[in-house]
Amino acid sequence: MRVMTNKNAKPFLKWAGGKTQLICDIEKSLPKEITKSNFTYIEPFVGSGAVLFWILNNFPNLKKAVINDINEDLINTYKTIAEKPKELISILEVLQDEFHSLEENEDLKKSYYYQKRGLFNLRKEERSVQAALFIFLNRTCFNGLYRVNRKNEFNVPMGSYKKPTICDGENILAVSKAFQNIEILCGDFEQTLSYAKENTLFYFDPPYKPLNETSSFNSYSKDEFNDDEQIRLRNFCSKLDDLNHAWLLSNSNLNFFDALYSEFSIQRVEAKRSINSNPEKRGILKELLITNNININEKTLY
Ligand SMILES: C[S@@+](CC[C@H](N)C(=O)[O-])C[C@H]1O[C@@H](n2cnc3c(N)ncnc32)[C@H](O)[C@@H]1O
C-alpha cells in the first residue's frame, strides 16, 4: 500500500527555544543571493527544527539540507522518522491509546508515565521504540521540557495535559517524505563544516546564554554550553566567514554578544518565549539575530 501525504511537514516536538516566532525576522535577513538559486542549508543545533521545516516547505530550489545536534536521543528520533515512519507510528498509536484510556485516573496515568520514563532511561529498547518513547515523553511531560541529569537521565515530571496528541501520523509521514534529501548528523556543531559547499547557508540556534543565573535553562544535554563554548562558536563563525559561507545566528540579548560579534551585523528582534515555568517571564523579550551579511558578488571582487 502506498501512503500519500501532501501535508506540509512541521516540527513534531515541543522544544525550548523553538524559533517559530522569529521566522519573519529570519526571512528578512536571509542572504537572497544564496537562497534564490540552488543552495545547501545547514543547521548545526537543530533542536525541534522550526527553521528547518520552514526552509523545507518554502524553498523548492533547496538542493540539500544537513542537520546536526549533540543530543543522541533527538537525532535517533529524526533518523527513525526518516527511515521507519510506519513502524514508529504503530508504536506511538499503542502508547497513545494506552495513555488516553487512563484519562480519568490521575494515579494510573502517573504510574504509566513514570514507567515509560524509566524504560526510556535504560536505553535498551530498539531504536524505533526509543524514538517513540522520546516523542511520548515530549508530548506528555511538564511543558514539553527536555532536561536530563548528569547521568543523561530524562528527569522531567508528568505534565497536566488532558488528552495530548502523542501520535500525529499524518505529520510523521509528511516529515519522512520531506527528509528524503537530508543528511542527519549527531555530534558537535563543528563537524558540519565538511558539508559546506559553494552556495551554503548556516543557521545557528545554540543553547542561549542565560540572561541571569536564575533564568538559566541550559539542560538540553548532559554537557553545559558555557561562555567558552559561545566563544568557540564565534570562532567557528569567523572561520565560515573567511571561507565565504553565509550564516545567521540567534542568541540572547546580552552585551557579551555585542562585543563577541562586533565585526558582524547585529539586530535586536522581538521573540515571544513559550517555554518558561514562570508565567511572568513568558512575555515579549528581545533576542539577537546576527549575520555575516555575505554577498557572494561583493566578496569575490576583492
Ligand atoms: C536552542 S536549542 C535549538 C532550538 C531549535 N532551533 C528549535 O527550533 O527547536 C539548542 C540545541 O543545541 C544542542 N546542542 C548543545 N550543545 C551542542 C553542541 N556542542 N553541538 C551541537 N548541538 C549542541 C542542544 O541539544 C539543543 O537541541
Q: Which of 13, 69, 216, 237 to mutate to test the pocket of ligand 1 (most atoms within 8 A of CB)?
A: 69
pLDDT in tens, 194-228: 999 999 999 999 999 998 765 545 455 556 899 99
Residue 225, ligand 1, Cβ within 6 A: yes
Pair (121, 52) in one structural domain? no
Pair (58, 192) in one structural domain? yes
CA of 195 to the centre of ligand 1 (A): 18
Q: Which of 45, 190, 191, 226 to mutate to test the pocket of ligand 1 (most atoms within 8 A of CB)?
A: 45
pLDDT in tens, 108-162: 999 999 999 999 999 999 999 999 999 999 999 999 999 999 999 999 999 999 8
Number of domains present in the structure of the chain: 2
Domain, as residue range, for 257: 20-70+187-301
Of the candidates 50, 46, 47, 40, which has an alpha carbon nearest to the alpha carbon of residue 9? Answer: 50
Q: In this structure, is residue 6 part of a structural domain?
A: no
Phi, psi (degrees; rounded to nearest 5) at 204? -110, 125
Specify the CATH number for the domain of residue 157.
1.10.1020.10
CB 71 within 8 A of CB 152: no
Cα distance between residue 110 and residue 238, in whole Å: 48
Give the strands of the sheet with 182-186, arranged side by side.
182-186, 62-69, 39-43, 200-204, 246-252, 284-291, 265-272
pLDDT in tens, 88-109: 999 999 999 999 999 889 999 9
Pair (196, 267) in one structural domain? yes
Q: In this structure, is residue 273 part of a structural domain?
A: yes
Cα distance between residue 18 and residue 87, in whole Å: 27
In this predicted structure, the answer to whether residue 298 has a pLDDT above a threshold of 50 is no
Query: pTM of the prediction?
Result: 0.90
Pair (122, 95) in one structural domain? yes
Name the residue with cell 528578512.
Answer: 28
Pair (194, 294) in one structural domain? yes
49 pLDDT tier (thresholds 50, 70, 90):
very high
pLDDT (mean) for 2-13: 72
